[in-house]
Amino acid sequence: MTGRELVSSYLASFASADPEVIVSHVCEEFENNHVGLLGTNCKGRETYRQRLKGFLENFKNLRYTIEEIIEADDRVAVAYKMNAEDNKRPIEIQGAMFFTIQDGLISRRNDYWDGLSYLKQAGISS
């Protein structure tokens, strides 16, 4: 599987709302980095699995749409649109993720996303 295929499968797996399906794409030492004030980072597949449970409970009907994807060696970059429901409100967030692939699994993800847009759509900020 190419890096592009792995990352595409990973992003599609969020629609399953199953943490086990999602974490099957990442390595044991996975680093999940959110670059922004609203996100929190974590390290390790097990910690990520536990965090996913709450994330998936908060964001129902979660779907990522890949708008652009670029692969270079062990790196994959994705511009995306995330759609979900948060407290029965539709949410649409644009962002970009940068992945590092190691031994056929994702070892690092850096996620840059529009936190202000989320706050406005969630009714938290105007």
* Res 125: pLDDT: 65
Between residues 36 and 92, which one has the greater pLDDT?
A: 92
What is residue 28's predicted lDDT score, i.e. its pLDDT? 98
- Which of 17-21, 72-76, 92-96, 121-125 is predicted with the least confidence, judged by mean pLDDT? 121-125
**22-31: pLDDT as tens digits:** 999 999 999 9
Average pLDDT value for residue range 32-55: 90
Query: What is the pLDDT confidence band of residue 117, given thresholds at 50, 70 and 90?
Result: confident
CA–CA gap between residue 82 and residue 91 (Å, rounded):
8
pTM of the model: 0.92
Within 8 A by CB and 6+ apart from 34, the residues are 40, 41, 111, 113
| Mean pLDDT, the chain, whole residue set | 93
Query: 37, 14, 36: which is closest to 26 by C-alpha?
Result: 14
Q: Is the pLDDT of residue 42 over 80?
A: yes
Q: Check if the beta carbon of residue 91 is closer than 8 Å to that of residue 84.
A: yes
Domains, the chain, in order of start with CATH, read: 3-121 (3.10.450.50)
92's enclosing H/E stretch is strand 89-102
